[in-house]
Structure 1
Amino acid sequence: MDLDDVLPQVGEFGRYQKLVLWFILLPGVFPCGFHAYNQLFMAATPDHWCRVKELEEFDARLVRNISIPTVVLLDGQTRFSQCTMYDLNYTNSLEFYESVNYTNVRTVPCEHGWVYDKEGHENTIITEWDLVCDKDLSATLALVLLGLGGLLGNYFFGYVQDGIGRKPAFFIYLFIQCVFGTATAFANNFATWTIFRIGVGFTVPAILGTPYVLAIELVGPRHRTLVTILINIAYSLALVSLAIIVWVIREWRLLALATTLPFLTLFLHWWLLPESPRWLLAQGRIKEAEKILLQMGKINGKKLPENFISNLTIQDINQNNVQVDYGIRHLFQSPNLRWKTIIVTFIWFTNTSVYVGLSYYAPALGGDEFLNFFLAGAVELPTYLFLWPAMEKWGRRWSLCVSMVIGGSACLATFLVQNDSVITLGLYCIGKMGISSSFVVLPLMASELYPTVVRGLGMSVSSMMGMLGPVFIPLVNYLGSDMLTLPLIIMGTMLVMGGACSLLLPETLNQHLPQTLQDAEKAGLDCFACCTPPQLDSKIRAMHESRF
């Protein structure tokens, strides 16, 4: 039984779907956006220099001028050293240091801790636990471990979502996220804090899977693009909201609570969030699917056909009642689905790596890090105005390709203007817009390529491999301390390669969602049909013609 044949009769995108989308699914996107990036500000590293305990009664910046040497960075800029100080007797009066010839004074590592410039950050884990100098990789390591947690969480999420349903999967992961997110605020050392962050990372970005997949599965083919755009707008708004929150709350423990506790209210949605009728039908749970569809038709002002159940042939029911334990091997069982899985997974890896990498890199671009992060989220919003009609006219494949190539080219171009910070920031924003667009198209296209019986598993496998990106991308961004544009060049190269691979996939615009593995075999790779315009599925065309 194909749900796309039934939805026009009960409402493809009626009041029921709109209420679920606006009041349940879109708010359900925010936990992922908040917890994916709040760590950047909990572990922010402010400017710092060696503490001179003998001169603590004097102005900190005056003490810095007489006790801290300057160093020249690889980009030619000069700044005060963050890890060394002059080896002097600091019991003398301040006037004594005016006559000191500092060129002959040796420097030593900090002996009594550090003084932190708290103008931008009141308190972070870096300032509280002195994670600087020989411990300056701690923040990067924490991001790597957050990514590893996400890698593991995505793997299990696919089985949970396809095994027990979209709805239970979301609330299980929400519970895990709230527990570890709250516990983060009470960590008393870096090791404990990191363990709690791994727990949070276990749910990121897996928890985004339910709002996304459920939104796709509740509507008809013509409305998938719209709900995908809305889900991604909600995610961008989550980033913009997070930028405002971290600007207001500069204390990391309060920030951990402020970005976690509000989501406890989402548990009230348990009684409102429906299970996916597509998933229920694929599992052979006909009565439960019928109950949801009846409610959908009632709220949409339509009536489910009386012969709905009788239209399910005995063969359909027998097939649905056969309990098949689908696993990763089913994604690679046939050459067709195998290559689709490989290509989608590679593109997902490049998209996740670059999207997360550019988002992580925003505060490192110089200037106001809060404003940079705000812009990194805000520049995504205008792209959706152009992306929506592009996806409907050009299809998924060309929209994905063009977005990735434009974003990648902008990142590569930063090499030519690496000494101009303003143009570099502008190209960064273009790159962020490009990757944001492709990040909208890819999950939609993947959800339309994978059949229902393994859709959650397929998307989880692809996104799980994509989560290898957030594991290594913090290390790539760390290279930016020596060359600002090097991470952008690496990420730009990855985007262009992914854009080229996207043209190998079949177009999915206006096509029925495949239900079974056999359905997925009907659309092969389109290696030589890159210029073919999207064609409307014959069943959908006939259905539309009968209605108008």
Structure 2
Amino acid sequence: MALATTIPFCFFFLYWWSIPESPRWLLATGKFYAAEEIIRKMAAKNGKPLPPDYMTTLQMKYNAAKKAQHQNNVNNSVEDENKTYGLVDLFKTPNLRKKTLIITFIWFTNTSVYVGLSYFAAVLGGDEYINFLLAGAVELPTYIVLYPVISRYGRRTNLCVSMLIGGLACLATALPIKGETFTLVLYCVGKMGISSSYVVLPLFASELYPTVVRGLGMSLSGVAGMLGPIFIPLVNYLGAEHIILPLILMGVLLVTGGLASLLLPETLNHHLPQTLEDGERFGKTIKQKPDLTRDENL
């Protein structure tokens, strides 16, 4: 079973070299000509030719932005093009550090509870196969309605509400109401909530990290999040004596993570941060609410 579920991933290595680099990242790191080549290929593939002066205008805006940022140091524009970024850059400045820690904590919470609830289906009582089927079926509605909802009301609100719904449903199992059906219903609501937040979080996180360290930030948060499934089986084992105890612990995690998401800025219809300076300013100087007056495809 382990081989059957892991060997197919080896095929990813057969085509990674054919995937183009992100033009946004290339522009942010000063690799303009490489970005131009990819942008023109994208335009041709989509059947939407670029205006004749598109790349010239883009380069002028880029050079103007670089000049404004580094007007006190003429050598920085050359240095930035060759600069490499590391995990340390995520923690150098206070606002970016705060966002990195919050995203990582929420990622840990989401991964832990999602895996924990998936494992917990078999010990709810009744038919374990039916329970596991329901645990997967309740995820489907979230995938259908989630995209239009986050496009209208933003990422942060949906992440927070999803985690709170899931967390409160898990905590509600402590109510003095007996019966396997009651616990199963609350479990399904909790699984629906965590499934929704598990979809929103990667999108939200990718829009919060600045382009030059976006891959590093996503990797850091993702790896830290996977520490949760190492410990979550021990939490589920507590259910051998008290069946609702794991649900209560996971509910506390979800509610805490949902409230922590309110400390992050909304990203809907805002320009993505490009540089570390943009990442530090993002959330300080922009509005915390989604800009509903602007086109989402900025």
Query: Which TM-score tier does this pair reach, normalised by the shorter chain?
Result: 0.7 to 0.9
Q: Residue 285 of structure 1 aligns with which residue?
A: 31
Does residue 490 (structure 1) correspond to residue 249 (structure 2)? The answer is yes
Find 1:516's aligned residue among 256, 275, 294. 275
Q: Residue 259 of structure 1 aligns with which residue?
A: 5
Mapping of residues 104-123 of structure 1, within 5 Å: none
Supply the AA of the counterpart residue of 1:434: G
Q: Residue 173 of structure 2 aligns with which residue?
A: 414
For these two proteins, the number of residue pairs brought into alignment is 284
Supply the AA of the counterpart residue of 1:286: F
Return closer, same or farther for 1:506/1:537 CA change in 2, 3 Å cut-off: farther
Deviations 1:275-302 (A, max 9, x none): 3222333343333322222221112111
Percent of aligned pairs sharing the same letter: 61
Deviations 1:4-54 (A, max 9, x none): xxxxxxxxxxxxxxxxxxxxxxxxxxxxxxxxxxxxxxxxxxxxxxxxxxx
Supply the AA of the counterpart residue of 2:105: F
Does residue 454 (structure 1) correspond to residue 200 (structure 2)? The answer is no
Q: Residue 476 of structure 1 aligns with which residue?
A: 235
Q: Residue 42 of structure 2 aligns with which residue?
A: 296
What is the distance in 2 between the residues matched to 1:268 and 1:433?
35
Find 1:357's aligned residue among 103, 113, 116. 116
Normalising by structure 2, we get a TM-score of: 0.84
Deviations 1:175-195 (A, max 9, x none): xxxxxxxxxxxxxxxxxxxxx
Deviations 1:490-543 (A, max 9, x none): 0001111111121121111011111101112332259xx8xx7421587x58x9
What is the distance in 1 between the residues matched to 2:290 and 2:119?
36
Does residue 276 (structure 1) correspond to residue 12 (structure 2)? The answer is no
What is the distance in 2 between the residues matched to 1:305 and 1:354?
49
Preserved contact between residue 349 and residue 465 of structure 1 (Cα < 8 Å) = yes
How many Å apart are 1:268 and its aligned residue? 4.7
Q: Which has the larger radius of gyration?
A: 1
How many Å apart are 1:444 and its aligned residue? 1.3
SS in 2 for 1:274: coil
Supply the AA of the counterpart residue of 1:469: G
Q: Residue 73 of structure 2 aligns with which residue?
A: none
Preserved contact between residue 281 and residue 320 of structure 1 (Cα < 8 Å) = no
Supply the AA of the counterpart residue of 1:535: D
What is the distance in 2 between the residues matched to 1:355 and 1:382?
16
Supply the AA of the counterpart residue of 1:297: A
How many Å apart are 1:328 and its aligned residue? 2.3
Normalising by structure 1, we get a TM-score of: 0.48
Preserved contact between residue 126 and residue 180 of structure 2 (Cα < 8 Å) = no
What is the distance in 1 between the residues matched to 2:108 and 2:16?
32
How many Å apart are 1:459 and its aligned residue? 1.8
Return closer, same or farther for 1:466/1:257 CA change in 2, 3 Å cut-off: closer
Return closer, same or farther for 1:319/1:479 CA change in 2, 3 Å cut-off: farther
Q: Residue 372 of structure 1 aligns with which residue?
A: 131
Find 2:156's aligned residue among 371, 382, 397. 397
Deviations 1:43-96 (A, max 9, x none): xxxxxxxxxxxxxxxxxxxxxxxxxxxxxxxxxxxxxxxxxxxxxxxxxxxxxx
What is the distance in 1 between the residues matched to 2:79 and 2:28?
6
What is the distance in 2 between the residues matched to 1:525 and 1:428?
38
Does residue 386 (structure 1) correspond to residue 150 (structure 2)? The answer is no
5+ long unaligned stretches in structure 1: 1-254
Does residue 336 (structure 1) correspond to residue 95 (structure 2)? The answer is yes
Q: Residue 535 of structure 1 aligns with which residue?
A: 291
Return closer, same or farther for 1:536/1:333 CA change in 2, 3 Å cut-off: farther
Preserved contact between residue 87 and residue 216 of structure 2 (Cα < 8 Å) = yes
Q: Residue 505 of structure 1 aligns with which residue?
A: 264
5+ long unaligned stretches in structure 2: 68-76
Higher mean alpha-carbon deviation, 274-283 vs 395-404, is at 274-283
Higher relative contact order (CA 8 A, sep 6+): 2
How many Å apart are 1:342 and its aligned residue? 2.0
SS in 2 for 1:521: helix
Aligned-CA RMSD value: 2.8
Return closer, same or farther for 1:334/1:321 CA change in 2, 3 Å cut-off: closer
